[in-house]
Chain A
Amino acid sequence: GNSVTQMEGPVTLSEEAFLTINCTYTATGYPSLFWYVQYPGEGLQLLLKATKADDKGSNKGFEATYRKETTSFHLEKGSVQVSDSAVYFCALLYLQGAQKLVFGQGTRLTINP
């Protein structure tokens, strides 16, 4: 089956710290991979994506590389800001009828000034 496992949260960091949120997946075939972000009181927004092995997705200073050999898609940012405080979801896309997403459990990130 298809599944996504994310690093347990919550994660608390100081401003300008380096961030890594781990994500590993199990899937048949080669799914597309996504990171979504949910700011307080809002729905999910697409943060970045990668559609094939070794692709690097990037947006707003965040990066993630699709690693087929380790079935991973870890999210990184070199210097976090208070405004990055949110819940982050890793997801993979698979085809069953429509193209559907399966999500990890989410990681709550809090950045302190």
Chain B
Amino acid sequence: DVKVTQSSRYLVKRTGEKVFLECVQDMDHENMFWYRQDPGLGLRLIYFSYDVKMKEKGDIPEGYSVSREKKERFSLILESASTNQTSMYLCASSSTSVPEQYFGPGTRLTVT
């Protein structure tokens, strides 16, 4: 079974802090994604990566950056956390040959 893990289930940070969310997949997938989930808005794509060191902006990249130094790991960085970034963050991965996305359990981030 594909396993996607995220570093924390719950995280509380203060406004202005730098925040790192880590995601690891164990299926050698080329593609990795970061989404945020907000009630009534569904999932919105923040960034995605289709190869090591390759990244592209999704629909809502403002205030975020990403890093993919190794194929299995994709990090989401909030350079200076703000209260409007309080949300559930979901990581996903997929292979190019079978594009179904597999999701991690999510990190619920609260910025106070």
Interface residues of chain A, those whose CB is within 8 Å of chain B, are 4, 6, 32, 34, 36, 41-46, 49, 89, 93, 97-106
Selected from B42, B49, B102, B104, the residue in CB contact (under 8 A) with A105 is B42
Contact in complex: B100, A49 (CB < 8 Å): yes
**Is B8 in the interface zone, CB < 8 Å from A?**
no
Contacts A103-B42, A104-B42, A105-B41 given: A97-B48 contact, CB under 8 Å? yes
Cα(A1)–Cα(B40), bound, Å: 20
Instruction: Name the A residues within 8 Å of B96 (CB-CB).
Output: 98-99
A41–B56 Cα distance when bound, in Å, is 29
* Known contacts A43-B4, A43-B90, A44-B90: A101-B101 contact under CB 8 Å: yes
A-B contact pairs, 28 of them (CB 8 A): A6-B42, A32-B99, A41-B105, A43-B90, A43-B103, A43-B105, A44-B90, A45-B103, A46-B100, A46-B101, A49-B100, A89-B42, A97-B48, A97-B50, A98-B31, A98-B48, A98-B96, A100-B33, A100-B48, A101-B45, A101-B101, A103-B42, A103-B43, A103-B44, A104-B42, A105-B40, A105-B41, A105-B42
Interface size class of B (residues with CB under 8 A): 20 to 34
Chain A: interface secondary structure? strand
A99 touches B94 (CB 8 A): yes
Q: Are A100 and B4 in contact (CB under 8 A)?
A: no
* B99 and A93 within 8 A (CB): yes
CB distance from B92 to the nearest CB of A (A): 8
Q: What 0/1 pattern do residues 69 to 91 of B give for CB contact below 8 A with A?
A: 00000000000000000000010
